[in-house]
Amino acid sequence: MDISRKTDYALRILSMLVEGGDGLLSVRTAADQVNVPYSFARSIQHGLVQAGIIESLRGVHGGMRLKVDPAEVTIRQVVEAVQGPLYFNDCTAPDGACDRMDTCCFHPLWNGLTALVADYLDSVTLEDVVLRRKFPAVSGQFADRDSFCSYAGCGPSWQLDAEPSA
């Protein structure tokens, strides 16, 4: 998992929209302030429109504005809108498959990591971050080792506290 530059720039553009309230922001202005080429900013705009996060208005006085309430959209939703589903290993991708998934000792680890990061990014909205009212938090379930398999999808042959075979 890597937060792409495109996602970073999208978050910066969205922060400008949150801070701007209901006003319109031109793609040119956003590109200049975020310091990205105009064509790249247009690509970001297109992706955010497709995800339903912003709307685009054409014309001389056009621009883009938020289509969603920033208090309702999580950082995870933005990340996934720009770069796709959150996962850390190909075997944990939505269409991922591996012959060893049920017996691999690392598969639950990657599932757990995905669950942990998803929970972290879901714990804070765009408004929370931009207006600095709240910082991300992680659910206490991740501190309880006994609940690991409940969110990590341990295979049938994977056991907690199993002694390694000699």
Is 93 or 77 the better-scoring residue by pLDDT?
A: 77
User: What contacts 146, CB < 8 A, 6 or more positions away?
Assistant: 160
Longest dimension (CA), the chain: 74
pLDDT at 166: 47
What is the architecture, at CATH level 2, of domain 5-66?
Orthogonal Bundle (1.10)
Q: How far apart are CA 54 and CA 12, in angstroms?
A: 13
pLDDT at 92: 76
Residue 65's pLDDT band (boundaries 50, 70, 90)? very high
pLDDT at 96: 75
Is 143 or 9 the better-scoring residue by pLDDT?
A: 9
Domain edges within the chain: 5-66, 85-152
β-bridge partners, 125: 74
Radius of gyration of the chain, Cα coordinates, nearest whole angstrom:
20
Measuring CA to CA, how many Å separate 83 from each of 12, 93, 121? 15, 13, 14
Calculate what percentage of the chain has a pLDDT beyond 90: 48
User: Beta strands 54-57 and 63-66: pairing type?
Assistant: antiparallel
Mean pLDDT confidence for 6-16: 94
Q: Which has the minimum average pLDDT: 3-12, 44-53, 100-109, 111-120?
A: 100-109
Q: How far apart are CA 17 and CA 23, in angstroms?
A: 8
pLDDT at 77: 94
Instruction: State how far Cα 8 lies from the chain centre.
Output: 11
- Considering only CA atoms, which of 54, 86, 73, 52 is closest in space to residue 130? 73
User: What contacts 25, CB < 8 A, 6 or more positions away?
Assistant: 13, 16, 17, 63, 64, 65
H-type helices in the chain, by residue range?
5-19, 27-34, 38-50, 75-83, 107-122, 126-130, 148-152
Mean pLDDT of the chain: 85
| pLDDT tens readout for residues 94-119 | 777 777 777 778 888 888 888 889 99
